[in-house]
Each structure stands twice: as C-alpha cells, then as structure tokens.
Structure 1
Amino acid sequence: MKIGIIGFGLMGASLALALREADPTLTFVIADRDAGHRAVARQLFPDSVIGDDLTRIAGLSDILFLATPVRTMGAIAQQIGPFLKPGMTLTDLGSVKEQVIRDIAPHVPGNCHFIPGHPVAGRERSGPNDADPLIFKDRNWVLTPDENCNPEALDRLTKLLEGLPIAHVLRLDAASHDRVLAFNSHLPHIIAFAAMLESAKIGEDLGVDMRNFSGGSYDDMTRVAAADPVMWRDIFLTNGERLEEMIRALIGRMDNILDAMHASDEAKLTALIAKARDLKIRD
C-alpha cells in the first residue's frame, strides 16, 4: 500500500515514522514545498518518492494524508483532485473539521473517498527535525465521516491507524469535534499566547526578567506558546465562532471567582476551588 503525505512538518513526518514502524511493508510518497523539509524526508526515507509536485504524489497514493495548515487544504484539494486514483482515500490531520470539510469535499472525485481526521496529539515545536513516532502514543485519533462514507474505505483507514501506538480511533460528528477541540486544544493555546504577551509587558514595566520568578505553573500555562504561528493562526480563523464561545465561557467562570474575591466570600471561593480540584483529581 502506498501512503501519501503532503506536508512533511512535525505531524506529517511523525506520522510517516510511526506508520513505518507499525508496518514496514508500507511504501511512502511524500510532498512538501519546503526544500529543507524535503531534505529531511530524503534522509529519513531514502527509498521513497519525494518532491514538491503535489499532483504526482497525490496520484500515486492509496491513502493520502494532508498534513498542512488547515487554510491551505482547500486549495491543495482543488489542485490534486483531478489526479486522485479511483478508490483511494483522502484524509487530513487538521484540528478543525467543519471548515476543512467545506473546503476539501467539493474537490474530491465521486470515485474517491474523503474521510476527515484529526490526531489529538502534537508538540509545541514544528518542523520535521522534531518529528517523533511516539507523538501519537496513547492519544486518540478522531475520524469525522459523514453518513455517506464508504464503509470499506472507513474500515481500511481505521485498521491502518489502529496499527499505531494510539489509544483509540474515535468517531464524532464534525460540529461536535470543533466544539470540543475549541475548548480542549484551541483555548489553551489562546491562553498561552496571551499569557506570554502579558508576561513580557509586566517584565518590561518592572524591569525584571520574569523567568527568574517562574515556577512549574507558569511553565505549564505557557508551554504551548512555542507552537507554530501559521498553523495556529489558521486554526483560530477557521474555528473562530466555536473558540469565541469557549473564551466567553471561561471569562464567565473567571468572573465568578472574581466576584467571590471582591465580596471576600471565603465559602464560595473555597467551594469553587475545591470543585475544580475534585474534577481534576477524577480526570
């Protein structure tokens, strides 16, 4: 089986390495427009077809993964659509599903299968030099097929993914996926980016190096601020409505805590913190 990967960054490269470890009989065809990424791909996969011609790689693929920023996927699908082999499966690694489906689906030929996907995994770094096949270990992979999805194609993709060291392959509708990920993934990145910007301002105002006064909680809150700016810009812009909903919901929770603080309401403040602690302990 030929596995195609368009986008040999952190996630695309990690996926290729993980699939090769899971099944050495697989062959890989890889496309990336970045010459440096292609050079790394040739080092890691010296016997594979590697290039910058997306249509060639797409035409060779039995299962093709799009591992590029989400706002590029529609244009890529439009470009490669006429070259896809009958019966092949196109999927993606995007962290947003509703907009990606709207962008990709119109360009997939009727004799091919489009099964949107999202590995709930990642790192705060980017690029193939940080690729790690264990990035998916014990993480879930979400598929969001519609009611017309070909069952044989879905089963084939599911079995391929189940060969990885993931926890489970989950199925969810696209709208629910985007609402869940807006809170569990996208919102924490918003918080981290905003915290780093405010930290820099406070440090500048006070003339101190904030890193000298940071502990584990600060590091936990800001770790993902080192993530790829283009990737996260695209995620925020394509899941903006859901993300705004989650930002406002979190502000509401913080306002509840502020109200208790302003009122010196020890009982309410203790109850809110204790409830959150208990939820985390059971997490």
Structure 2
Amino acid sequence: MAVRPAFDRITSQQADVHMDAAVGQAVSEAVVTQAFKSAVQECKFCVTVANPQSEDSPLIAVSEEFETMTGFSRHEILGVNCRFLNQGVDMNPQDLVHLREASATGAPFTAIFPNRKRSGELFLNLLDVRGLTVARNKKTGEDLWYLIGIQADVSELGEEQVPDDHFAELQMMSDFIRDRIITELSEYALSTDIGTSSSFDLLPTPEWRPGARLGSRQLSAAAPVLRPASKPRSRGSQGTMGLQQRMLGLSAAVAIGAFGVASLFFLLRRRLRS
C-alpha cells in the first residue's frame, strides 16, 4: 500500500535516532511493563501484550481498540490469560497446539479464531502473535521477551478467505509497536534510578523471536461456528472490501502515528545533547 514506503522510512529513522539512548540501559521488569502499557494504550488498532515468562502468560497491556472490539475493560483482564475470549467456543485443535507453541517460543503465529465478546456475541478474530525480545538478564543472559498480539474482527467475511496483503499489514502494525517500545523504554530508562532491581540490559533494538510461522490462516474452519448457514460470497464482495477499507484505515493510522513517534525521538535526542 502507499503508506508502507513512508512508514518504513520513518521507523528506520526512529530506530537510528533512539539507538544510542537505548543501548546498555539497565531496567527492571516493572519498568518494561510500564513502557509497554504506555506504548499500546492509545494505538489506533487492536493490540495486546502478554508476558509468557510469568505463570499462565497474563496480559500486561491492551489498547483502547481491544477494549472496544471485545467489550472487556483493561481493569477486568490485565493480569489474566486471554483465553476468556474462548469461553464456550469450539476451537480448531491444531491451531490451539500451534498457539501454545508460539506462546512458549515466541515464533510468529497467525490464525482466525471464533471468539466471544463480553456481551456473549460471537465473532471471528484474526489473530497475529509474535514474540519480541527487549532485554537480557545481566547475570544469566536470559532473554526478557513478550508476546505482541495484533487482532481484527473479520466476521463480515463469512466464509471468504482473508486476502494475503492483509497479513503484511499485520506485520506493519507489529513493527510499529516495536518502534513505539524503543521510545518508551529509552525514556523510562533515562528517568528511572538504576538500583539492584534493574537486572536487565536493554537491547540496541528489540528483536522479533525466530521460528517458522505457525497457524493455518484459513477462515473455513472458524466461520461455521459463527455462521453455520452462511454461503460463500463472490470475490471482491462487500465483506472483503469492508476489511480492505478497515486495514487501509489502520495502516494510515499507523503511518500518521509514526510521525508523532518520530518527533518524540528527535526531541529526546536534542534533550540528551543539550
């Protein structure tokens, strides 16, 4: 899409500007958690962050758009596993196996799940999850990493397949979160006293976890749960076009938001040099 080249240039500039401020800064896990909350809470798309290294992989941050899409407030769900969306819903067993593997390793995962909103309404959730390493333990060398989840309600597609280019947009949104966290982590590290609890050294740039992509990306297994009587619609129908318009809007929001993040980088650099 047209916003992608501009987005890539902006995020590259952001990483270069903030690299020097972030390298080697010592932080605590609590500081990292707060940085993630600040990075995602006002994102103009649906994003969650979970801590896979804590028991049961609890959510530590969600965007306002996630609250709007699901009906759950962050006060209800922070600190718990996101399986509350799966209550009373039949899931594809193979996708569940892959999701558990992705949650344990950080390998990228994409699938479409039938989920349930707080109201009880069923919807189809396009879920893209991948692990992001942000720091390493100074003593053990163990990675400190988190699960970044980008989600979208694709219920209007019926039994159509999600176009391939939308998956590229999910990657774009994940990269935007990564660059937001560079800003937030650097600012928190610079403004926080470094004590004995600061046991992690920030990486120069947060790194996506390695691994082959998991998941089916197929809508056919999930759609009958939501709409047993639905019929496939023709290619280019209202369902697909509706999703295309929403993904384009999200991409534009990401690009616009990136300009704001870029300005933060330049302001911080000026402050460090003054």
Q: TM-score, normalised by structure 1?
A: 0.24
Bigger Rg, which one: 1
Structure richer in helix, relative to its length: 1
Q: TM-score, normalised by structure 2?
A: 0.24
